[in-house]
Chain A
Amino acid sequence: MSATAQQFLRTAAAKSADLRHRAVIQTNMASYNVAVTRGKARFADWQNARRRAAQIKWETINHLDRYLEQFERNVIANGGRVHWAETSAEARNYILSLAHRHGVRKVVKSKSMTTEEIHLNDALEAAGIHAVETDLGEFICQLRHEPPYHIVTPVMHLTKADIARDFHEKLGAPLTDNAEELTRIARQKLRQEFLSADMGITGANFAVAETGMIAITENEGNARLTFSLPPIHVAIVGIEKLIPRVADLALLWPLLSTSGTGQPITAYSSLIGGPRRDNEPDGPAEFHVILLDNGRTRLLADAEQRDALHCIRCGACLNACPVYQNIGGHTYATTYPGPIGAVITPHLRNAAEWSHLPYASSLCGACTDVCPVRIDIHHHLLHNRRNAVQKRLDHPLQRLIFRSWLWAMQSPVRYRLAGKLGALACRLGVKPPRAFPAPANQSFKDWWKNNEPGT
């Protein structure tokens, strides 16, 4: 077992027994479920909308080379620049050299899981550049030196009191139990950062090939300030974020917000296609898009699980997952936690180190049912388990057990004998594992022999 897997087991055990954590998450999920039920009711046909969304993403992902080239052409035509990055390091280095060239001292960031994935903040800080997270949840995470707990709701695990304590200790704010007051404190602090930043960094929820624009979904307005005020805007975009047309957003925007928070559409749904144009009064002088691979083409090469690249990072599968609800987002120790994370992480990173994640699921399928782009999530967990066994990442003892088990199951005589041995062991005082009861005195097979029709 990898050290990562051992750490996972320890953290999962502790969190599963943490009743305070469970209560906080269940309260959050209860509000989420109410909002999402209401949100889905605004669709005429939610299932059909999912099918259309899956079709749009399938079309893009299965012709990705074409859409990437079209997107690139259009960004350049709009006056933007495109940089392709094969790895996290390439993406980070591009940003660092850009920042260096322009003498950047301060960066404001809007929420982006892709920047988490490439560990951008650490790299910026190491280069002496102050990076400021401006999404309220991410701002709190940064204060706590903690990764986001959830890809949509970064501080789902915290209460008002927890956050008030952080603001008090780290910002010198007076203690308060008022969410509005806490928000006001962050707004005031961050407003100064927006006005003095030299660079704004965002992710993208979608990248529209036909117009060369990126789409950003948010509620706070921090992303709009991030791409409006600083003189340089850099967007880090995973290559799977492409969609063909602007018109597709008429479905994908509501689908994302409904699954993410239950909102019909978020407060701000923006499209950015380049730096300030000549006839525009403001906006950045430079617009850079980084197209990031970082393992995505490995997942693309697996035709069976290619639909995992449909993911629009709405977080619905995390919310629906009973495992996630009990062990929490941090336990996974991945950028993308929960069911979708357990599917993609062994591909994006390293199967040997992360093969425990696909096993950490009861395969209940709640994730697949809620996925707005119909990714076959829980079946891909099965595929990853099969892949792990094929790569011989399984424990030799487990392999031996299943070989012996197969030998017993191939013959009714051996099967019966195994059953009798089990029953005997129990009578001799061997405790069956977990909740298993001792074998019955008479198996069904034995009963049938005496109760066959005609006997």
Chain B
Amino acid sequence: MRVGLFIPCFIDQLYPRVGIAMVTVLRRLNVAVEYPAAQTCCGQPAFNTGYWDEARTLAKRYAEIFAGYDAVVSPSGSCTAMVRNFYPELGVTPPPTFEFSEFLVRQLGVTDVGARFPAKVTYHDSCHTLRELRLKDEPRQLLRHVKGLELLEMDKAETCCGFGGTFSVKFPMISYAMDEVKCQSIAGTGAAYVVSADSSCLMQINGYLQKQKLPVKIISLAEVLAST
């Protein structure tokens, strides 16, 4: 099986450690991966803002870059949803693209990646991972097999963090209020870490946690799974 990596633009630039963690886990599982160097962005910012012609150009680009791969794996539910669910709306056939936890659990059949992370964590369901890709149990299955990890569910696990890409720029006050509601739910669990399959949500959540100096740190699912 020829597996390609798709590292979304903001992970590449802002959170490269998330991509590195995913590669670490995949190599530990003896999955050979390739990284096509021409890749940039899936086009979601343009698509979500209404610029479908611009998004289509990048969708075609993505489809060309990843043509010939049996699977593309990405550490972002959001970008995976863009490729799988929305490329068809743009008239572009998507290459088979999987979110990381989905790839591990559904494609490889792995739920224990041999990780160890002794801490209390709570899991944030990112909207795209949950409601576009319908992945609720997969990330939790992986977390439950991490040694030393205690998973505490928050009451508003499925509530949006308020990021929404350009939404947070156009309507910062609504976005902030949503972030506040989310973070109060996170802090209510007593967890030391909030984990998610989307680093964009974690970035948003971190904005409030830091501003209010709440004692919770953000960490991506890939980084938890890479820890030993």
Contacts and interface: CB of A to CB of B under 8 A. Distances in A.
A127 B35 CA distance: 73
Nearest to A448: B35
A435 interface: yes
A405 B203 contact: no
A16 interface: yes
B13 A363 contact: no
Contacts, number: 167
A268 to B, nearest CB: 34
Given A323-B178, A410-B57, A443-B12, 8 more contacts: A359-B171, A362-B160, A363-B127, A385-B49, A409-B58, A415-B40, A440-B15, A447-B16
B132 A365 contact: yes
B39 interface: yes
Given A422-B13, A440-B14, A445-B12, A382 B174 contact: no
Contacts of B61: 410
B60 to A, nearest CB: 10
Interface in A164-205: none
Given A322-B159, A362-B167, A402-B51, A437 B178 contact: no
A327 interface: yes
A126 B203 CA distance: 54
B173 A364 contact: no
Contact of B131 (A364, A403, A410, A444): A364
A389 B43 CA distance: 16
A422 B49 CA distance: 22
The 7 closest A-B pairs by CB, nearest first: A435-B207, A362-B164, A385-B50, A364-B160, A389-B50, A365-B131, A16-B177
A363 B164 contact: yes
B220 interface: no
B18 to A, nearest CB: 8
Contacts of B15: 437, 440
Contacts of B203: 435-437
- Classify the secondary structure of B's interface with A: helix
Contacts of A444: 7, 11-12, 16, 19-20
B1 interface: no
A406 B49 CA distance: 13
B207 A326 contact: no
B9 interface: yes
Contacts of B7: 444-445
A361 B174 CA distance: 9
Interface of B: 7, 9, 11-17, 19-20, 23, 32, 35, 37-41, 43, 45-52, 54, 57-58, 61, 86, 127, 131-132, 158-160, 162-164, 166-178, 181, 203-204, 206-208
A17 B14 CA distance: 29
A281 interface: no
B37 A445 contact: yes
How many chain A residues sit at the interface, stated as a range, is: 35 or more
Contacts of B32: 453
A451 B7 CA distance: 15
Contact of B175 (A362, A368, A445, A453): A362
Contacts of A403: 54
Contacts of A369: 131
Contacts of A440: 13-17
B49 A398 contact: yes
A412 interface: yes
B160 A366 contact: yes
A406 B174 contact: no
Interface in A426-455: 433-437, 439-440, 442-448, 451-453
A444 to B, nearest CB: 4
A29 B200 CA distance: 27
A12 B173 contact: yes
Nearest to A418: B13
B219 to A, nearest CB: 14
Contacts of A388: 50
A439 B14 contact: yes
A395 B14 CA distance: 28
Given A386-B50, A437-B14, A360 B41 contact: no
Contacts of A402: 45-46, 49, 51, 54
A394 interface: yes
Given A326-B178, A362-B162, A434 B207 contact: yes
Contacts of A325: 181
22 contacts: A12-B173, A22-B181, A326-B181, A327-B174, A360-B170, A360-B174, A361-B167, A362-B160, A366-B159, A402-B54, A406-B57, A409-B43, A412-B39, A415-B9, A419-B13, A434-B168, A436-B203, A444-B7, A445-B12, A446-B16, A448-B35, A453-B32
